[in-house]
Chain A
Amino acid sequence: MKLQRKNRRALALGALAVSGALALTACGSDDTGGKNNAGGGSTTASNSSVKCDDAKGQLLADGSSAQKNAIDAWVKEFSQACGVQINYKGGGSGAGITAFTQGQVAFAGSDSPLKPEEVTASQKICTDGGQGIDLPMVGGPIAVGYNLPGVDDLVLDAPTLAKIFDSKIKNWDDAAIKKLNPDAKLPNLKIQAFHRSDESGTTDNFTKYLKAAAPQNWKYEGGKAWQAKGGQAAPQSSGLAQQVKQTEGAIGYFELSYAKDMSTVAIDTGASAPVKATVENASKAIADAKIVGTGKDLSLELNYKTKAEGAYPMVLVTYEIVCDKGNKSDTLPATKAFLNYIAGEDGQKLLAQNDYAPIPDEIISKVRTTIEGLS
Chain B
Amino acid sequence: MDISTHKTHTGAPAPTPRPAASQRKHAARGATRLGDRVFLGLTRGSGILLLAIMVAIAGFLAYRASLAISKDHGNFLTTFEWNTGQQPPVFGIAVLAFGTVVSSIVAMVIAVPVAVAIALFLTHYAPRRLSGPISYVIDLLAAVPSIVYGLWGALILVPHMNGLFGWLNDYFGWTGVLSWEGGPPRSMLTVGILLAVMILPIITNVSREVFRQVPRMHEEAALALGATRWEVIRMSVLPFGRSGVISASMLGLGRALGETMAVATVLSPNFLIKASLLDPGGGTFAQNIASKFSEASEFGRDALIASGLVLFVITLLVNGAARMIIARRKEYSGANA
Contact = CB atoms under 8 A, between A and B. Distances in A.
A224 interface: yes
Contact of B269 (A197, A200, A223, A224): A197
A225 interface: yes
B264 interface: yes
A102 to B, nearest CB: 10
A51 B186 CA distance: 51
B85 A223 contact: yes
A286 B67 CA distance: 39
A35 interface: no
Contacts of A243: 184
A301 interface: no
A199 B297 CA distance: 10
B272 interface: yes
A320 B190 CA distance: 41
B98 interface: no
Interface in B257-311: 264-265, 267-272, 280, 291-292, 294-298, 300-301
Nearest to B85: A223
B35 to A, nearest CB: 14
B295 A221 contact: no
B20 interface: no
A231 to B, nearest CB: 7
B143 interface: no
B6 to A, nearest CB: 10
Nearest to A101: B298
A201 interface: yes
A94 to B, nearest CB: 5
Interface in A86-129: 91-95, 97-98
A229 to B, nearest CB: 6
B45 interface: no
B184 A94 contact: no
Interface in B211-270: 264-265, 267-270
Contacts of A223: 83, 85-86
B331 interface: no
Contacts of A227: 81, 83
Interface residues of B, number: 33
Interface in A177-191: 190
A293 to B, nearest CB: 20
Contacts of A199: 85, 291-292, 294-296, 300
Interface stretch (A135-143, A158-166, A232-240, A260-268): A232-240
A229 B295 contact: no
Contacts of B265: 235, 239
Contacts of A221: 83, 86
B268 A197 contact: yes
Interface string B1-23: 01110000000000000000000
A307 B234 CA distance: 77
Contact of B3 (A6, A95, A234): A6
Contacts of A225: 82-85, 292
Contacts of B270: 229-231, 233
A94 B300 contact: yes
Is the interface on chain A under 10, 10 to 19, 20 to 34, or 35 or more residues? 20 to 34
A247 interface: yes
A221 B3 CA distance: 79
Contact of A94 (B181, B186, B291, B294): B294
Contacts of B301: 94
Contacts of B264: 197, 235
Q: Is chain B's interface secondary structure helix, strand, loop, or mixed overall?
A: loop
Contacts of B291: 197-199, 235
Given A224-B85, A224-B295, A247 B184 contact: yes
Interface in A201-246: 201, 221, 223-225, 227, 229-235, 239, 243, 246
B182 interface: yes
A232 B280 CA distance: 7
Contacts of B3: 2, 5-6
A9 to B, nearest CB: 10
A345 B161 CA distance: 51
A340 interface: no
A192 interface: yes
Contacts of A98: 297-298
A97 B85 CA distance: 14
Contact of A192 (B81, B183, B297): B183
Given A2-B2, A2-B4, A225-B82, A232 B296 contact: no
A155 B300 CA distance: 37
A85 to B, nearest CB: 23
Interface in B45-91: 81-86
A232 B186 contact: yes
A227 B271 CA distance: 9
Contacts of A198: 291-292, 294-295
A232 B295 contact: no
B159 interface: yes
Nearest to B283: A197
Nearest to B291: A198
Contacts of A92: 294-295
A93 B280 contact: no
A200 B84 CA distance: 13
A265 to B, nearest CB: 20
B297 A94 contact: yes
A232 B83 contact: no
Contacts of B186: 232, 234
Contacts of A233: 268-270, 280
Contacts of B85: 199, 223-225
A49 to B, nearest CB: 34
B224 to A, nearest CB: 36
Interface of B: 2-4, 81-86, 159, 181-184, 186, 264-265, 267-272, 280, 291-292, 294-298, 300-301
Given A197-B267, A225-B83, A225-B85, 15 more contacts: A2-B4, A91-B294, A94-B295, A94-B300, A94-B301, A95-B295, A98-B298, A190-B182, A190-B183, A199-B295, A229-B271, A231-B270, A232-B184, A232-B186, A233-B270
19 contacts: A2-B2, A5-B3, A94-B300, A94-B301, A97-B297, A98-B297, A98-B298, A199-B85, A199-B291, A199-B294, A199-B295, A201-B295, A223-B83, A224-B85, A225-B292, A229-B272, A230-B270, A232-B183, A234-B186
